[in-house]
Chains A and B, each alone.
Chain A
Amino acid sequence: MLIAAAVLFLLLRLLPGDPANALVSVGADPEQIEAARRQVGSDLPIFAQFVRYLGQLASFDLGASFVSGVPVLEEIGRRLTLTLPLTALAFTGAILIALPLGILAAVKRDRWYGSLISVISQLGVAIPVFWIGILLVTAFAVKLRLFPSSGFPTSGWWRDPLAALHQLALPILTIALVMSASLIRYVRSATLDVIGSDYLRTARALGAGYGEALVRHGIRNGAVPVISILGIELASTLLGAVVVERVFSLPGLGSMLLSGIEQRDYPSVQGVLFISTLLVLLVGFAADLVQRLVDPRLRGPSGARP
């Protein structure tokens, strides 16, 4: 974690540009630019900046944004109240869509609806997120007026969950659609693996029905790669919703990172990356745990080593 922090710190400082630039405007003279650099500390040597940063990290202080002056941790906390539920809901939706459809597409791949599912999922993978978002907004917000086109209630979730859900319906749908499109492909792929496998044929030879064999043996075996994909998808959606956030003007974690990078607001960038790294490790750990539960062969301490 410490090494990651150091690497990150150095990488960010290698970017051309200066955080002080976000604070000046056309008309500023050299004296004012120097004042801006003093304020953000970019006039110090890199080593001194790094020592300062480590000191802050040690006390779990992520610093304050160079640009807005707000403590980074506070800002991240507020953005997480949007990002976490958005991710969780979209993720749940994607699983609910992708699991049954993916298995169906594999098992019934010779039927027309099996192929249809594949075709639709392919379409879903091929369309850029911003296009789907814009289409949904045009259809459901501008034409049908069913959902708001953008934004998020200032009151957050808890005062009026239904209103918040209503406001977020389109972004959730957008992410869920994109995510499930690629998930279906993985589920289908994993199911095909299972269907063609020896143990399934063995089970069937021993008298189990096709469905029963698939459920008893298939899910365990097929689930392992799918779970790891799920873990990746979940983790990357935390930050990866940035394009969706842009289309729907949502104040999420991804847009905080994006504007942080644009403005060279190092404390914000470092803070977001630090927190999201923690979250990702957590998700990865959980995925690993689930995999081990599902597939006993992964439990042995050295089973996979040469």
Chain B
Amino acid sequence: MSDATPAFAPLPRLRLTPAFLIGATLVGLHVVVGLLTLIWTPYDPTAMTGGRLAPPSLAHWAGTDRLGRDLFTEIMIGARIALSVGIGAVAIAAAIGVTVGLLAAFASRAVDDVLAATLDILIAFPTLLLAMLIVAASDGASLGTAILAIGIAASSIVARLTRILARRVLAMDYITAARVSGTGWLGIVRIHVLPNIWPTLIVNFALQFGLAVIAEASLSYLGLGAPPPNASWGRLLQEAQATVYTAPFGAIAPGIALVSLVIGLNLFADGLRDVADPTRRRR
């Protein structure tokens, strides 16, 4: 491994920008809450413990839904669901996307053209619609199906980005030099391509994570995500929409949770990017 550009160095000279700190805190909060729900929640999430659409109170911090269930409990569980969707979907998207993207970048012109055209077509399909098709094809909606669908749908975007970024690197003069000096293509990927493209990919993964969370919310909003009684934020929003005039808090609280997680992820990734950027580190 070359000393000049280690592939995945620990983050040296970590510059903790406020944005990064806020992002890390927000994400950390959601992770803690999500983990906490595994062992404890204020109420039983399916128990009808309060009145219909009760406003926020000491007993019910975020009020109750139409069935009198505690919304705060459901939102907490929603964090766990959102995080598992994000992690699962991004892992699937990264595994498929980076592999296909690198293959395309290194493949012969004909193979590259076919792959590129296929990716173009797949990308025409917005993540959400592709996910809807996959959910429709599987036997009924479930959390696993939603994760798989969102991951597969997002992988085409990752693949296309990887291919473009890798091709840009491969066009550089030092690649020619490396090739002349006898480095194999795996070596080129490890030493030159990945270190150069991964900061941009990380930014994209964080975006995809956020998008996956939004996509799951949208799927649930359309009734195609995790089936009830899974407390997905999208389902909470959808159920609250009908009552938005009489109980606006039910539509606001899950929205705040959703937005705060996605923002946290994005800030976190931005901070990460500013630190991890190899071009900045070389300065």
Task: List A residues at the B interface (Cβ < 8 Å).
Answer: 4, 11, 14-17, 115, 118-119, 122-123, 125-131, 134, 182, 185, 189, 192-193, 196-198, 224-225, 228, 232, 235-236, 238-240, 242-243, 254, 257-258, 261, 276-277, 279-281, 284, 297-298, 300, 302-306
Residues in chain B near residue A224, CB distance under 8 A = 164, 168
From A227, which residue of chain B is reached at the shortest CB distance?
B164
* Complex Cα gap A233–B277 (Å): 25
Partner of B124, one of A115, A258, A276: A276
Partner of A125, one of B19, B121, B160, B207: B207
Contact with A along B244-283 (1 / 0, CB 8 A): 0000000000010011111100110010011001011001
Q: Does A239 contact B262, Cβ atoms closer than 8 Å? A: no
> Mind listing 11 A-B residue pairs with CB under 8 Å?
A119-B19, A122-B263, A126-B261, A131-B255, A134-B241, A189-B200, A193-B277, A239-B125, A258-B132, A298-B171, A305-B109
Besides A126-B261, A302-B109, 12 other A-B contacts (C-beta < 8 A): A4-B121, A11-B137, A17-B136, A118-B19, A123-B259, A126-B262, A189-B273, A192-B273, A196-B279, A225-B168, A235-B124, A284-B116
* Complex Cα gap A142–B207 (Å): 33
Quick check: which of B36-44, B143-151, B213-221 contacts chain A, the rest being far away? Answer: B213-221
The yes or no answer to B62 lying at the interface (CB within 8 A) is no
Q: Does A197 contact B279, Cβ atoms closer than 8 Å? A: yes
Given A185-B203, A257-B129, A261-B132: A297 touches B171 (CB 8 Å cut-off): yes
Q: Does B210 contact A125, Cβ atoms closer than 8 Å? A: yes
From A306, which residue of chain B is reached at the shortest CB distance?
B185
* Complex Cα gap A197–B157 (Å): 25
Q: Does A304 contact B121, Cβ atoms closer than 8 Å? A: no
Partner of B129, one of A125, A232, A239, A300: A239
Partner of A242, one of B117, B120, B126, B267: B126
Given A131-B255, A242-B129, A305-B170: A225 touches B266 (CB 8 Å cut-off): no
Q: Does A14 contact B137, Cβ atoms closer than 8 Å? A: yes
* Complex Cα gap A278–B102 (Å): 25
The yes or no answer to B179 lying at the interface (CB within 8 A) is yes
The yes or no answer to B3 lying at the interface (CB within 8 A) is no
Scan residues 135-172 of chain B and give those whose CB is less than 8 A from a CB of chain A. 136-137, 139, 157, 160-161, 164-165, 167-168, 170-171
Residues in chain A near residue B263, CB distance under 8 A = 122-123, 125-126
* Complex Cα gap A16–B135 (Å): 11
Residues in chain A near residue B58, CB distance under 8 A = none
Partner of B128, one of A4, A198, A242, A298: A242
* Complex Cα gap A281–B117 (Å): 7
Q: Does B259 contact A243, Cβ atoms closer than 8 Å? A: no
Q: Does A122 contact B266, Cβ atoms closer than 8 Å? A: yes
* Complex Cα gap A276–B241 (Å): 32
Q: How far is the CB of B242 from chain A (nearest CB, A)?
A: 12
Q: Does A280 contact B120, Cβ atoms closer than 8 Å? A: yes
Q: Does A239 contact B105, Cβ atoms closer than 8 Å? A: no
Q: Does A240 contact B128, Cβ atoms closer than 8 Å? A: yes
Given A242-B129, A304-B170, A306-B179: A284 touches B120 (CB 8 Å cut-off): yes
Q: How far is the CB of B170 from chain A (nearest CB, A)?
A: 5
Residues in chain B near residue A128, CB distance under 8 A = 214, 217-218, 221, 234, 237, 255, 258
Q: Does B218 contact A243, Cβ atoms closer than 8 Å? A: yes
Shortest 3 CB-CB distances between A and B: which pairs?
A: A240-B126, A126-B262, A280-B124
Highest count of chain A CB atoms <10 Å: which of B179, B234, B263: B263
The yes or no answer to B133 lying at the interface (CB within 8 A) is yes
Q: Does B124 contact A277, Cβ atoms closer than 8 Å? A: yes
The yes or no answer to B103 lying at the interface (CB within 8 A) is no
Q: Does B129 contact A258, Cβ atoms closer than 8 Å? A: yes
Highest count of chain B CB atoms <10 Å: which of A122, A134, A228: A122
Given A130-B221, A225-B200: A303 touches B171 (CB 8 Å cut-off): yes
Residues in chain B near residue A239, CB distance under 8 A = 124-126, 129
Residues in chain A near residue B259, CB distance under 8 A = 123, 126-127
Q: Does B266 contact A125, Cβ atoms closer than 8 Å? A: yes
* Complex Cα gap A118–B123 (Å): 26
From B244, which residue of chain A is reached at the shortest CB distance?
A134
The yes or no answer to B87 lying at the interface (CB within 8 A) is no
Given A125-B210, A125-B262: A236 touches B123 (CB 8 Å cut-off): yes
Q: How far is the CB of A26 from chain B (nearest CB, A)?
A: 20
* Complex Cα gap A198–B280 (Å): 10
From A284, which residue of chain B is reached at the shortest CB distance?
B120
* Complex Cα gap A276–B122 (Å): 11
Residues in chain A near residue B280, CB distance under 8 A = 196
From B252, which residue of chain A is reached at the shortest CB distance?
A131
Given A297-B171, A306-B188: A232 touches B218 (CB 8 Å cut-off): no
Q: Does B123 contact A232, Cβ atoms closer than 8 Å? A: yes
From B118, which residue of chain A is reached at the shortest CB distance?
A4
Given A115-B19, A232-B160, A239-B125: A192 touches B139 (CB 8 Å cut-off): no
Q: Does B120 contact A281, Cβ atoms closer than 8 Å? A: yes
* Complex Cα gap A15–B134 (Å): 9
Residues in chain B near residue A302, CB distance under 8 A = 109
Q: Does B129 contact A240, Cβ atoms closer than 8 Å? A: yes
